[in-house]
Structure 1
């Protein structure tokens, strides 16, 4: 799966939208469990596990988006100060470009914009998940 600026908010929205349906399903299955319906417990566990997996996936996408934002910020720093040690592939390439004499101003603006968009995306997704 390719991570982009919409990955985390879309995953968070899907989890949030699915919450009501999942609650209704769990309520019906809980009633079936009380009536000793065979297989109801396994079905409840399966539905709950699927929902938890989707929520965990959304949280992981948020963390990945924030990590990429940090990578872009580090790359912008490496473009401004080529002696800064590179810690990831993006900052390594940015450092090499700066050492080769590439015009850093447009690239720094691009990296800062990418970092800002990624952080905003992660924040929106986290806000949506915290409301569920």
Structure 2
């Protein structure tokens, strides 16, 4: 299911939609967000295709995000050190993609429980 690409709030809470649905304006805003992270004190390493929600409280001394990793608005306040693997595990990424395609994109991650029960 596609959602309006102008809906910044949706991407803040469903960052897995960013890669496939972000507008040029949203991509430019994300680039600026990441530049501000690099300019802040501390060590920052971001892999390819990362997304950091504008409203996420991210102020760590060390931030390492692997390829295709993201920090959503509802993720915990990151203050000291954050090291998110090289990527979200492939099965989880696949499940999130299928959930978004099934219309659960704007829902919380708990909607995945129903998909898992159905064997989707």
Structure 1 and Structure 2 fold alike (TM over 0.5): no
Which of the two has greater strand per residue? 2
Range class of TM-score, shorter chain: under 0.3
Larger radius of gyration: 1
Which of the two has greater helix per residue? 1
Task: Provide the TM-score with structure 1 as the length reference.
Answer: 0.24
Taking CA–CA contacts closer than 8 Å with sequence separation of 6 or more, which of the two structures ends up with the larger relative contact order?
Answer: 1
